[in-house]
Amino acid sequence: MTRRAEETELAETVDLRAWPGRPRRSGRGEALGLSGAPAVSGPIHVLNGPNLNRLGKREPEIYGRTTLAEVEAMCHEAAGDTPVVFRQTNWEGQLVDWIHEATDSDAAGIVINPAGLTFTSIPVLDALKMFGRPIIELHISNIHKREAIYHRSLVSTVATAVIAGLGARGYVTAIRSLRDLLE
């Protein structure tokens, strides 16, 4: 198989609009398996875990030089008229509380970079299980090209999609993809 054929096959396999139970084109409520439900029109919650407040300073050869403030601006720009709730914490319990808040609100979806909690946090996993709307797991680096400890994500088991290795621009891809899922 040629490289081009492999890329085409991969692009067809990773169609974010075709996640399980989602019709190709429908209203937001129907897309989420909520027949007859009103469209989900709330904000996108972008939740960031430990050490992401150090972006731009911490291991720039892995994470780049873009700061978290710059990432936040990129997210707001990519979201257009969709509101964004952008947060970062170094505390597992705070991240869980924010997931609960999104669950209990009209949040359209979650983009989550749980950082080191990706691989260890059952409480984050359990909180995400309750969300019931699209979740995009995001990693700035390609976790699969790193040490073995970074290869098994607990969050991936409940995520609608996973984006890894695109650097800070991955946030833009995640926001746009989430908006596409909700159209």
Q: Distance between CA 10 and CA 64 in Å, rounded?
A: 27
Tell me whether residue 63 is one of the annotated catalytic residues. Answer: yes
Determine whether 149 is exposed, middle or buried from the number of CB atoms within 10 Å of its CB (0-12, 13-18, 19+): exposed
Distances (CA, A) of 118 to 140, 150, 157, 159: 13, 8, 11, 11
139 among known catalytic residues: yes
Q: Which amino acid is at 178?
A: L
Residue spans of alpha helices (H) in the chain: 3-13, 28-31, 60-63, 68-79, 92-103, 122-129, 169-182
Please pick, among 139, 144, 150, 151, the residue that the annotation labels catalytic.
Answer: 139
109-113 sheet: strands from edge to edge: 84-88, 44-48, 109-113, 135-139, 161-164
**If DSSP codes are grouped into helix, strand and coil, which group holds residue 48?**
strand
- Provide CB contacts within 8 A for 153, sequence distance 6+: 118, 119, 137, 143, 162
3-state secondary structure of 141: coil
Q: Catalogue the active-site residues.
A: 63, 139
